[in-house]
C-alpha cells in the first residue's frame, strides 16, 4: 500500500498541471459544500442566540388570557388565581431541567411616575424576588442591590437600569434620588445592567423618549412593596433558567404545569360574573422560543440543502474528470502495465495501484477543497456580515467522500488496466 501511494504521488507530481485540472472539480465541489455548511451552522447558531438569548437559557412563563398576556392594570384580580407559594417555587427549582427560578410582577403602564417635577412616560416597573437578578443575568453597576431585609420590610427602595440612568438623570448620579410612583416616594439605591447583550445608545432625555417608543427604562422594587402602589394579591409571572439550551422547552412546560395548579377552575354549569369568566380563560403558558428557533433552522436547512445538492454536481463532474484522466493514464502506461504483468504482477496488484492513484488524487483535491472552503467561509463572513461556524464533521465527511469518489470513478480505468493482455500491452506503441 505504501509503495502504491509513493508511485501515485510520483505520477501526480510528474504531471502537475494535468493533475491540478483533474482535481479542480473536486476542489470546487468540496469548497462549496464546506462554505455552505459553515454558513448554515453559523446562521442556525445566530437564530438560536437571537431568539433564546446568547446562552442565558431563560424561559418566561406568563399568565395568559388566550394568546395575550394577562394585564391587571385596569381589571380586577379573579378570585380563583392564587399567589404562587414558596412551596410551588421550590418544586420548580427541584425540576431536573431547571437551574434557578424567579417570580415577579410587572406593569407597563404607569400614569403617575415622576422625578422631581418631570413626568416619566413608558417606563416598566417590576416587583421582584431575591432570585430575579441572578436568574435574568443582571448585575449591579452602581450603588447596591436589595438586602434580604429590604425584600420584606416595605422600605420603599428601587433600582433602575442604565437606560433610565442615562436618559432621565443625564449622567448625574441617581443614587439617593427619589422617584414618585403613584404618590409613593421610592429611594434609588442602585443601577442594574445586563451582564451581556445589546444596549441602545442613550445620552439625553430626547434619546431616552425616542428609544422608549418601542422599549423602556426599567424600575425594580422588592416584591412585597408591590402592594403599596398596586395590589398585594396580583398573580406573578415566572422566569426559569434551564440547565442547558436543549432543556428549555421541558423546563418551560413543566413549570407551567406547576403554576397552573394555582388556578382553581370555576364550575362550568353556573353563571359566572365577568371576572370569573375571564378567570376561566387564564392559563400559565411558557414561551416556545426553542421551538421557534428550530422551525427557522429547519427552514434555513431546507433552503440550503438545495445549494448543497447543486454543489454536489461539481463533485460528480470532478469524478468524471478523474475517470477520464485515469483512462488516459492507463493508455499512456500500457507498455508499463504489460511489463509488470510479464514479470508476474497479478491483476489485483495492478487494480490496487490504479485505485490508489485515483484515491490519492481525489483526497488531495478534497484536502485543498476543505482549506479553500474554510477560507471562503471567512471571506463570506467578512463581506456579507453573515456568521459562520466551521463544522468538523463536515470536513471529515468531505475528505472521506472525496476518497470514495476516487475509488468509484477510478474503478473502471483500474479494471481496464488489470485486464490488459500482457502480450498486447508489450506490443503497444
Statement: residue 35 has pLDDT above 60: yes
The pLDDT, as a whole number, for residue 145 is: 94
Statement: residue 298 has pLDDT above 90: no
The phi and psi torsions of 170 (rounded to 5 degrees) equal: 50, 50
| DSSP reduced 3-state for 95 | coil
pTM of the predicted structure, to 2 decimals: 0.57
What mean pLDDT comes out for the span 149-164?
Answer: 92
- Report whether 25 contacts 315 (CB < 8 A): yes
pLDDT band with cut points at 50, 70 and 90 for residue 91 = very high
Statement: residue 63 has pLDDT above 70: yes
The pLDDT, as a whole number, for residue 205 is: 47
The domain limits of the chain are 2-51+294-427, 67-280
What mean pLDDT comes out for the span 363-377?
Answer: 87
The pLDDT, as a whole number, for residue 262 is: 81
Place of cell 438586602: 147
- DSSP string for 314-372: HHHHHHHHHHHHHHHHHHHTHHHHHHHHHTT--HHHHHHHHHHHHHHHHHHHHHHHHHH
What mean pLDDT comes out for the span 370-375?
Answer: 88
Enter the C-alpha cell of residue 371: 482549506
Give 52's DSSP letter: I
Statement: residue 355 has pLDDT above 90: no
Statement: residue 365 has pLDDT above 70: yes
Give 53's DSSP letter: I
In whole numbers, what is the pLDDT of the chain averaged over residues? Answer: 78
Range with the poorest average pLDDT among 58-62, 195-199, 246-250, 325-329: 195-199
pLDDT band with cut points at 50, 70 and 90 for residue 160 = very high
Taking only the tens place, the pLDDT of each residue in 209-243 is 444 444 458 999 999 999 999 888 889 999 999 98
Closest CA to 329 of 416, 429, 406, 421: 416
What mean pLDDT comes out for the span 357-364?
Answer: 83
Statement: residue 29 has pLDDT above 50: yes
The pLDDT, as a whole number, for residue 415 is: 77
| DSSP reduced 3-state for 219 | strand
In 212-346, alpha helices (H): 226-229, 248-260, 274-280, 289-332, 334-342
Enter the C-alpha cell of residue 417: 488496466
The pLDDT, as a whole number, for residue 21 is: 82
Amino acid at each position: 500500500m505504501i509503495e502504491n501511494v509513493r508511485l501515485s504521488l510520483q505520477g501526480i507530481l510528474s504531471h502537475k498541471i494535468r493533475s491540478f485540472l483533474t482535481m479542480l472539480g473536486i476542489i470546487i465541489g468540496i469548497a462549496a459544500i464546506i462554505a455552505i455548511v459553515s454558513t448554515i451552522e453559523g446562521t442556525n447558531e445566530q437564530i438560536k442566540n437571537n431568539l433564546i438569548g446568547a446562552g442565558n437559557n431563560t424561559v418566561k412563563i406568563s399568565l395568559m388570557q388566550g394568546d395575550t398576556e394577562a394585564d391587571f392594570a385596569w381589571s380586577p384580580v379573579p378570585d380563583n388565581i392564587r399567589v404562587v407559594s414558596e412551596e410551588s417555587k421550590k418544586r420548580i427549582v427541584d425540576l431536573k431541567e431547571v437551574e434557578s427560578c424567579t417570580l415577579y410582577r410587572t406593569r407597563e403602564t404607569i400614569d403617575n411616575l415622576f422625578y422631581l417635577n418631570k413626568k416619566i412616560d413608558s417606563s416598566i416597573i417590576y416587583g421582584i424576588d431575591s432570585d430575579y437578578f441572578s436568574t435574568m443575568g443582571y448585575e449591579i453597576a452602581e450603588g447596591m442591590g436589595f438586602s434580604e431585609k429590604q425584600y420584606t420590610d416595605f422600605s420603599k427602595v428601587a433600582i433602575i437600569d442604565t437606560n433610565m440612568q442615562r436618559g432621565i438623570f443625564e449622567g448625574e448620579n441617581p443614587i439617593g434620588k427619589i422617584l414618585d410612583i403613584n404618590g409613593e416616594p421610592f429611594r434609588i439605591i442602585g443601577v442594574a445592567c445586563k451582564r451581556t447583550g445589546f444596549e441602545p445608545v442613550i445620552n439625553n432625555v430626547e434619546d431616552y423618549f425616542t428609544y422608549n417608543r418601542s422599549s423602556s427604562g426599567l424600575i425594580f422594587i422588592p416584591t412585597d412593596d408591590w402592594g403599596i402602589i398596586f395590589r398585594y394579591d396580583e398573580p406573578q409571572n415566572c422566569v426559569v433558567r434551564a440547565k442547558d439550551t436543549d432543556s428549555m422547552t421541558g423546563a418551560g412546560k413543566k413549570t407551567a404545569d406547576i403554576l397552573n395548579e394555582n388556578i382553581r377552575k370555576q364550575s362550568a354549569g353556573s353563571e359566572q360574573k365577568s371576572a370569573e369568566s375571564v378567570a376561566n380563560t387564564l392559563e400559565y403558558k411558557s414561551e416556545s422560543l426553542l421551538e421557534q428557533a428550530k422551525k427557522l433552522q429547519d427552514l434555513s436547512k431546507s433552503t440550503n440543502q438545495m445549494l448543497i445538492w447543486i454543489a454536489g454536481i461539481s463533485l460528480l463532474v470532478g469524478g468524471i474528470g478523474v475517470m477520464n484522466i485515469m483512462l488516459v493514464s492507463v493508455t499512456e502506461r500500457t507498455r508499463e502495465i504489460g511489463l509488470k504483468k510479464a514479470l508476474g504482477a497479478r491483476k489485483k496488484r495492478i487494480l490496487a495501484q490504479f485505485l490508489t492513484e485515483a484515491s490519492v488524487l481525489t483526497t488531495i483535491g478534497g484536502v485543498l477543497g476543505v482549506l479553500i472552503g474554510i477560507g471562503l467561509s471567512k471571506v463570506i463572513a467578512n463581506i456579507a456580515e453573515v456568521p459562520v461556524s466551521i463544522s468538523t464533521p463536515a470536513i471529515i465527511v468531505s475528505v472521506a467522500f472525496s476518497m470514495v469518489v476516487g475509488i468509484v470513478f477510478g474503478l473502471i480505468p483500474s479494471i481496464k488496466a488489470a485486464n490488459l493482455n500482457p502480450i498486447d500491452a508489450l506490443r503497444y506503441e
